Amino acid sequence: MQRDYHSNRSFDRAARLLLSTALALTWVVAAASAQTPNVAATPPMGWNSWNHFACKVSDAVVRASADAIASNGMKQAGYVYVNVDDCWQGKRDSSGVIQPNSKFPDMKALGDYIHSKGLKFGIYSSPGPKTCAGYEGSYGHESEDAKQYASWGVDYLKYDWCSAERVYKPEQMPAVYKKMHDALAATGRPIVYSLCEYGLKSVWHWGASIGGNSWRTTDDIEDNWNSMSAIGFAQNGLEGFAGPGHWNDPDMLEVGNGKMHHEEYVTHMSLWCLLSAPLLAGNDLAKMAPETLAILTNPEIIALDQDPKGAQAHRIWEEGPYEIWSKPLADGSMAVGLFNRGEDAEKLTLRLQDVGMMGSVTVRDLWGRKDLGKFSGTFSTDVPRHGVVVVRIHQ
């Protein structure tokens, strides 16, 4: 069965454009004074230890991941941040300065090693007294921790709300996050500031104004189709809050962790790139299958995520389990994802006028890495179960 759509199902593009423009102007004013220039001008790309290793992370694991990124093509594709998540913390010394635990004998040396590979070093903490895994948080020690991170050469901080709810009221969340931003700024070191608060208090409304470079919009992702698709497709409507220096974050990538099949991982990567989401691989890079590396490093898909316009895709049509999303690009072309969330393969049809394309256009398949030819009026394609076809369209 062929699925088409009609004008009465199309999104009112003019209304969305007016809303997005108004929101963007608001954030330009707020973000200009709150953020470090040129930090996260495009969505950050790298690796984070949590999804695969959780508290089994160690100095050796992080060094192996840095080695892999530097040698397997990921660095050339844009992955530069090597981020240690929870479970690295030890105790504080007599001056209140945080120290790493025995799994991380020398954080400065680890940062130096990562930097020697031409990569950047990320770390994790919480504004509460404890992290999610029960390690030492930054509560009452924001200035000391920011200075320690800077001394280690940290380039990225993920700041996870977790136990902060024990000591702060929900309405204090923006001020609490601003406190750490100000401490980071006082070090003079450019550090990407990632707010991890699961979308609480509609963070997209205030995240940029307090210095956030990205903010989580949902609860934690899991390596399964239901979790990934529910999170990813729920991002529609947040596109007005994303742009250079400040990004909606639907959580880290699960590509390659083994509990989804190939087409589902392709959908995962495609949707995150259309969403201009941070791309933080969460698998074991040292033991990665070639097909996983191919998904993570497709240059034409990554180019959508890293497009300098910084526009986040939005849904332009849906019918049952079928959805079409579009994303305007800096060169005037349009990226379109035709998604099949259903249980059988299906043919989907895009009306080109609904992405602003009139007359004859050229369509390129970004996963197939090939031009499909000229089209007028409509473009149709077969989409596999739980799969996607991503195209770039230009006049």
> Which active-site residues does the annotation give?
160, 220
CA distance 244 to 253: 21
Q: What is the DSSP string of 8-51?
A: GGS--HHHHHHHHHHHHHHHHHHHHHHS-TTTTSS--EEEESHH
Where b means 16+ CB within 10 Å and e means fewer, 225-240 reads bebbbebbbebbebbb
The Cα 382–Cα 338 span in angstroms is 9
Give the Cα separation of 200 and 222 in Å (integer): 19
**Sole residue written with tokens 């945080």:** 98
Task: Return the SS3 of 379.
Answer: strand
Amino acid at 77: A
Residue 138, CA distances (Å) to 44, 160, 182, 197 in order: 23, 10, 14, 15
